[in-house]
Chains A and B, each alone.
Chain A
Amino acid sequence: MTIMQIIFLITASVTLFAALMVVSTRKMMHAAMWLILVLFGVTITFALLETRFFAIVQLVIYIGAIAILIIFAVMLTRRSMNADVPQVNRNWWLVMVSSLALFVGLVTVMSVWEGFFVTARTAPPGGENLVQLGTALVDPNGFVLPFEVASLVLLAAMVGAIYVAAERKEK
């Protein structure tokens, strides 16, 4: 076992444990904190896959912004911050069985396919090609339309968030 595999195993088990805690802990705020650990685990996994850009994105967007937003959202709600309510309803075992079945099913489906066992190509020296990504973003033969549309989606979402949340002065 190489050191990389050891790091991966540790990261994976910590991430999975934290993910389990997110859904099972009783306090919303604690769940949000565990979520940050999950996201950090994913960051390390991306780094292990030699996709440094995605590791940065994961860190900057998910931990830096989304997790903070979730924590704010928890603090915005009046009672749920300290609520000590059960995390499961009567059908929890049903959901567990079906999600396990889905997982096993997907893995079985994937494993009969030869692409599942192909070893990943090693990344070119210096990790993934950030220049290529940057070029593709504004290349008419690449992703320029999705790129500009993404900004429009963000604009609409932002206007919506402000519309929903802004307090009305003129009333």
Chain B
Amino acid sequence: MLNEYYPLVVISMIAIALGFFVVLLGSILGPRRPTQHKGQPYESGMIPYGPGTRRISVRYYLVAVLFILFDIEVVFFLPWAVAFRKLGVSGFILMVIFAVILEIAFVYAWKKGALEWE
């Protein structure tokens, strides 16, 4: 069983090691001459003001909620898609009903202006 995950483990190891390696390389090789201005947080060249952790708009929450909607749809689609050839027309229709009911939530969100950003 472990063999199946072996490539995954190797890739994660490489990714983590690469991340550490790049940062380490930069800190070893790069010159370090800190000034007060360099130490400031970068905010598109503007002088930063106010606390860094401000309250975000509720719209992000709506986007996250819609994301969950499609995420859950994907999870239900996966086993269905694997078994698709066995299921025939009725399986297809039932999944379409499932998907349509979920899409109605999307239509509702759209029409209510949850996706408009102004």
Q: Are A56 and B78 in contact (CB under 8 A)?
A: yes
Distance, CA A78 to CA B2, complexed state (A): 46
The stretch from A9-17, A93-101, A130-138 touching chain B is A130-138
Assess whether A104 is interfacial by the CB under 8 Å rule. Answer: no
Q: Are B101 and A148 in contact (CB under 8 A)?
A: yes
Q: How many B residues are at the interface, by size bracket?
A: 35 or more
Chain B's nearest CB lies how many Å from the CB of A41?
14
Is A106 on the interface with B (CB-CB < 8 A)? no
- B57-77 at interface with A (beta carbon < 8 Å): 58-62, 64-69, 71-72, 74-76
Interface mask (B42-62 → A, CB under 8 Å = 1, otherwise 0): 000000000101011011111
A65-B71, A138-B87, A151-B98 given. 6 additional CB < 8 A pairs? A56-B75, A65-B68, A72-B61, A134-B86, A152-B101, A162-B109
6 A-B pairs with least C-beta separation: A134-B83, A134-B79, A158-B105, A133-B79, A151-B101, A138-B94
Question: What are 16 pairs between A and B in contact, CB < 8 Å?
Answer: A61-B75, A73-B61, A131-B82, A131-B83, A134-B78, A137-B80, A144-B94, A150-B76, A154-B72, A155-B102, A158-B65, A159-B108, A162-B62, A162-B108, A165-B114, A166-B113
